[in-house]
Amino acid sequence: MKGATVSRVVVDTYRRTLRQLLQWLQFEDSIERKVLTAAVIQYVAAMLLLVFPLAFLGPTRVLTAMPTGYVVGTAVVVCLVTLAFANTVWVVRRDLLTPVLELQDVTEALAVGHLDQAQTDPTQTDEIETLQSAIRNVHQHLLVVTEQTNTLGQEECSAPILEEEIPGQLGSSLETM
């Protein structure tokens, strides 16, 4: 087998195993649990690397054989790994999960015709904010469409709201009306 094929098989096997683990844990339906599972795997792996010398040599031997700088460095690494894990949990919940759940509520409301569902202003400048802006634009277009159709229904063909442009097929249909 060529190197690329072997690495592909390894990656595919790993992904399949990870998916099975997530299904077994009943985590496959949650972004939060998927990301936190990955973070836990990383945290445990890092901690195991730090604990192996203690497990195989014993704490007394490690402390006497290792220079003080190594022990202090290990303590710093433990703190950093723990901080990285806590940061991952915080970022996933605050910057990913919370806005995604809000967007879910807003889009579900829009899908059933409830245009009064307000979306909060974004607090971040990333892909989530771009998605929030796109949904906010859809919401604004739907509000204009609602006003325009109400105006047309009342046969007020010269009302200023009819000057508002709506993009795409929906806008074309309204212009035809």
pLDDT digits (tens, 9 = 90+) for 86-145: 999 999 998 888 888 888 998 888 888 888 877 767 777 888 888 888 888 888 888 888
State the pTM of this model: 0.65
Distance CA 146, CA 161 (A): 10
pLDDT digits (tens, 9 = 90+) for 19-49: 888 888 888 788 888 888 889 988 999 889 8
Q: Which amino acid is at 105?
A: D
Torsion from C-alpha of 161, 166, 169, 172, nearest 10 degrees: 50
Distance CA 59, CA 177 (A): 81
CA distances from 2 to 9, 43, 142 (A): 11, 33, 54
What is the structure's pLDDT at 2?
64
Distance CA 100, CA 106 (A): 10
**Cβ–Cβ < 8 Å for 43, 37:** no
Nearest to 37 by CA among 65, 18, 55: 18
